[in-house]
């Protein structure tokens, strides 16, 4: 059951319509609300045994208790435990204790603070920044289990985005593939070393002076030829598109946007100018219907060249500087000249330059036109990335209605999950970021983001060979499996580590063996509003150890994973909530099968070994490995089983390209008779 409450101060304006929820839910009187409205916040006394799940892309644990989080899409590549805001804003919480499984969704693009037992362990306090001025809708849902509560929520926000099946293959990316030659080289080296690959991502380097929808014809002279040659190699190219359009006379996208008034405006009605990768840029007003349609149709330029996938970036939107703020800061710096800088003035001076990026002042100084009304950016900040991605998806629907196109974004808000996936933003080659990736998966799934993954190996910083091996060993399970890194960092393509290429190849080939299962589980989760990555407590809510386990996950209905995320570890303690059969893969091959009883066990996992725990009476379909997704034989997977009475496995398989999804027609039931075929 889902209830909707309209909250905010008396006399507050109508809420901004985010279109996160697509179901029409009548308003309930606030008398039945289980949260208390106090001092402008919503409060709730949490019993000690309550777990608070949710918040999608956020730091810290699967259980969010003990920290303060702020929904405010932020470009923060150096995030750590102390961070409160990441790239996405996902205002969904699930409070779970015994029979009490209640979901809460705060639908507002304003900043929302979730103090989940930070000020006091037993107190949940939710504060909506703009509630004085603008009302908001609060949705409350309840069901008998955590999974069912999530399903209730997912039903009202609509079906998750479904990518083409090739997007489940391995992708290689790096900011600094500076020419077509380099892209060809990356593909050649993968193919030569028999490292499977389906996609190469093109970062801003393919563009002419970082201008959206252009090609650098000096370095990517025959882009069209490159796309078609790659197609012959079964490689898809997925270019990046940024949220800002370069200010440059004669650049048609800029000229059209300016002439038609499609850009966000400053206080005086002029185009608001910021600095991002290309230098001076304007932001298309993604919230304005006409501007959004116009921007979306620009993707056609690349679709017409044979491109079938995109990643939308810098769409929090990230601002390096605004013209106005830059001028102010230069002025302020002047005032420090010749002064004796003491403890206060020195640090203020030092912070000055850093303060120009993503500044609150800037976000509060430009305007959108939303449904005919002028609205200041900071009031709808969390919608920008969502609406940018929506602009592309709506255009694809018009331009190629039958075809699935790969699309994922950096910034997001709930609702965007219908239009595209997300990658988990800029991370660093740190072990703690691998662990964060693991914990974020179920939280994102709850919020509808199924197509997701992190930059494997880490984006910033220098990777080590063992970190990359461990990260890929987890990445084999995430729908988006992409190795991505920043310009200037150590190279981390799978062929870069002397003597280890075969080991990397084994891990990548395991991904392809798992594809029938992963794709099937993904599709069922999408079509039935379910989750693909589950915390153990969702399946064993009565098992207190399972409920408190933060570093193991269920992936789909049949398997549990327990990744290694610490340097120099040779294995780890695994908790088995029931008897399970461990399948040890050394690369793509099973080298050991062993049944472990319920309880804790230390399992050795040397580098290159991936252990999968098969649940009792469940089946795992596995294909032979292949070097690209379409070479996988999906029709006849081998079956691994554990238990005396395995339930038939509901195997979903469709053509992977068109939109004729249908659980009825595309599910066949696999049984254990075909075991180890």
Binding interface with ligand GLC (CB under 6 A): 175, 203-204, 240, 313, 410, 426, 459, 484, 486
In angstroms, what is the minimal distance from the CB of 430 to ligand GLC?
Answer: 16
Side-chain half-sphere CA neighbours of 616 within 13 A: 12
CB 444 → ligand GLC: shortest distance, Å?
17
For ligand GLC, give the closer residue by CB, 491 or 604. 491
Q: Choose between 87 and 474: whose C-beta lies nearer to ligand GLC.
A: 87
Instruction: Give the dihedral sign, CA 107/111/112/116.
Output: positive
What sign has the CA pseudo-torsion 239, 244, 246, 252?
A: positive
Cβ-based neighbours of 352, under 8 Å, separated by 6 or more:
329, 332, 333
| CB closer to ligand GLC out of 62 and 486 | 486
* Nearest distance from C-beta of residue 426 to ligand GLC, angstroms: 5
Q: Give the residue at shortest CB distance from ligand GLC.
A: 175
Helix, strand, coil share of the chain (percent; to 5): 30, 25, 45
* Pair 236, 198: CB distance under 8 Å: yes
Q: Give whichever of 322 and 489 is closer to ligand GLC, judged by the CB atom.
A: 489
Distance from C-alpha of 439 to C-alpha of 441, rounded to nearest angstrom: 6
| C-beta of 392 vs 486, nearer to ligand GLC | 486
Residue with smaller CB distance to ligand GLC, 205 or 288: 205
Q: How far is the CB of 87 from ligand GLC (least distance, A)?
A: 8
DSSP letter for each residue of 531-550: -SEE-HHHH-TT-HHHHT--
User: Measured from the CB atom, is 363 or 459 closer to ligand GLC?
Assistant: 459
Q: Are 468 and 433 in contact (CB under 8 A)?
A: no
Q: Whole-number minimum distance, CB 292 to ligand GLC, in Å? A: 22
For every residue of 165-197, DSSP letters joined together read GGGGSEEE--TT--SHHHHHHHHHHHHHTT---
Minimum distance of ligand GLC from residue 479's CB (angstroms): 18
Tokens of 98: 């015994």
Instruction: Provide the minimum distance between the beta carbon of 243 and ligand GLC in the complex, in angstroms, as a whole number.
Output: 11
Q: Which positions ≥6 away from 219 have C-beta within 8 Å?
A: 178, 179, 180, 205, 206
Q: Is 353 left (phi over 0), alpha (psi -120 to 50) or beta?
A: alpha
Q: Tell me the CB-side half-sphere exposure of residue 277, using CA atoms within 13 A.
A: 20
CB 49 within 8 A of CB 537: no
CB of 172 to ligand GLC, least distance (A): 13
> What is residue 560's three-state secondary structure?
strand
Of 313 and 378, which has the nearer Cβ to ligand GLC?
313
Q: Which token pair is 254?
A: 């800029």
In the complex with ligand GLC, the residue whose CB is nearer, 117 or 244, is 244
- The partner residues of 167 in beta bridges, in order of sequence, read none
Closest separation in Å from C-beta 54 to ligand GLC = 24
Residue 147 vs 216, nearer CB to ligand GLC: 216
Q: Minimal distance in Å, beta carbon 207 to ligand GLC?
A: 10
């Amino acid at each position: 059951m889902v209830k909707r409450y309209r909250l905010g101060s008396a006399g507050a304006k109508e809420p901004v319509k985010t279109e996160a929820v697509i179901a029409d839910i009548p308003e309930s009187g606030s008398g039945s609300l289980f949260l208390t409205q106090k001092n402008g916040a919503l409060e709730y006394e949490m019993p000690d045994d309550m777990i608070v799940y949710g918040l999608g892309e956020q730091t810290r644990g699967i259980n969010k208790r003990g920290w303060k989080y702020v929904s405010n899409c932020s470009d923060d590549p150096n995030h750590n435990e102390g961070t409160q805001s990441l790239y996405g804003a996902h205002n969904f919480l699930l409070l779970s204790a015994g029979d009490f499984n209640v979901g809460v969704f705060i639908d507002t693009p304003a900043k929302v603070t979730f103090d989940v037992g930070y000020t006091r362990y037993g107190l949940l306090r939710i504060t909506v920044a703009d509630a004085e001025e603008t009302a908001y809708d609060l949705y409350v849902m309840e069901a008998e289990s955590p999974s069912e509560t999530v399903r209730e929520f997912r039903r009202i926000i609509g079906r998750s985005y479904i990518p083409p099946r090739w997007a489940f293959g391995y992708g290689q990316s790096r900011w600094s593939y500076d020419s077509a030659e380099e892209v060809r080289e990356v593909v050649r080296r993968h193919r030569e070393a028999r490292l499977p690959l389906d996609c190469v991502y093109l970062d801003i380097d393919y563009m002419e002076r970082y201008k959206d929808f252009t090609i650098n014809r000096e370095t990517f002279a025959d882009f069209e030829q490159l796309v078609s040659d790659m197609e012959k190699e079964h490689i898809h190219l997925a270019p990046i598109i940024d949220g800002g359009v370069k200010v440059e006379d004669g650049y048609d996208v800029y000229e059209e946007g300016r002439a038609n008034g499609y850009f966000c405006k400053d206080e005086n009605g002029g185009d608001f100018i910021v600095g991002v990768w290309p230098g001076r840029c304007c932001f298309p007003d993604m919230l304005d219907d006409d501007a959004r349609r116009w921007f979306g149709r620009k993707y056609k330029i690349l679709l017409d060249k044979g491109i079938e996938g995109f990643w939308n970036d810098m769409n929090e939107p990230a601002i390096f500087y605004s013209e106005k703020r830059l001028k102010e800061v230069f002025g302020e710096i002047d005032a420090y000249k010749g002064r004796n800088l003491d403890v206060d003035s020195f640090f203020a001076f030092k912070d000055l330059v850093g303060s120009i990026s993503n500044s609150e002042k800037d976000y509060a100084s430009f305007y959108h036109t939303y449904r005919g009304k002028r609205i200041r950016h900071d009031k709808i900040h969390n919608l920008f990335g969502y609406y940018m991605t929506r602009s592309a998806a709506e255009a694809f629907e018009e331009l190629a209605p039958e075809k699935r196109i790969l699309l994922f974004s950096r910034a997001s808000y709930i609702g965007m999950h219908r239009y595209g996936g997300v990658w988990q933003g800029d991370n660093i080659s740190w072990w703690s970021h691998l662990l964060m990736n693991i914990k974020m998966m179920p939280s994102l799934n709850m919020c509808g983001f199924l197509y997701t993954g992190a930059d494997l190996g880490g984006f910033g910083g220098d990777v080590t060979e063992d970190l990359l091996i461990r990260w890929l060993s987890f990445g084999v399970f995430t729908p988006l499996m992409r190795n991505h890194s920043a310009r200037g960092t150590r190279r981390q393509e799978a062929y870069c580590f002397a003597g280890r290429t075969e080991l990397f190849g084994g891990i990548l080939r395991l991904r392809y063996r798992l594809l029938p299962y992963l794709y099937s589980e993904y599709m069922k989760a999408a079509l039935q509003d379910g989750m693909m990555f589950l915390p153990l407590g969702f399946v064993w809510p009565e098992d207190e150890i399972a409920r408190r386990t933060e570093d193991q996950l269920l992936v789909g209905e049949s398997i549990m994973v327990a990744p290694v995320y610490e340097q120099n570890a040779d294995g780890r303690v695994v908790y088995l909530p029931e008897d399970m059969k461990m399948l040890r893969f050394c690369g793509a091959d099973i080298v050991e099968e062993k049944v472990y009883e319920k309880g804790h066990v230390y399992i050795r996992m040397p580098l290159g070994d991936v252990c999968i725990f098969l649940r009792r009476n469940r089946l795992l379909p596995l294909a032979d490995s292949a070097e690209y997704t379409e070479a996988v034989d999906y029709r006849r997977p081998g079956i691994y089983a554990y238990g005396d009475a395995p339930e038939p496995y509901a195997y979903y398989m469709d053509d992977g390209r068109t939109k004729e999804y249908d659980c009825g027609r595309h599910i066949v039931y696999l049984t254990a008779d075909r075991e180890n075929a």
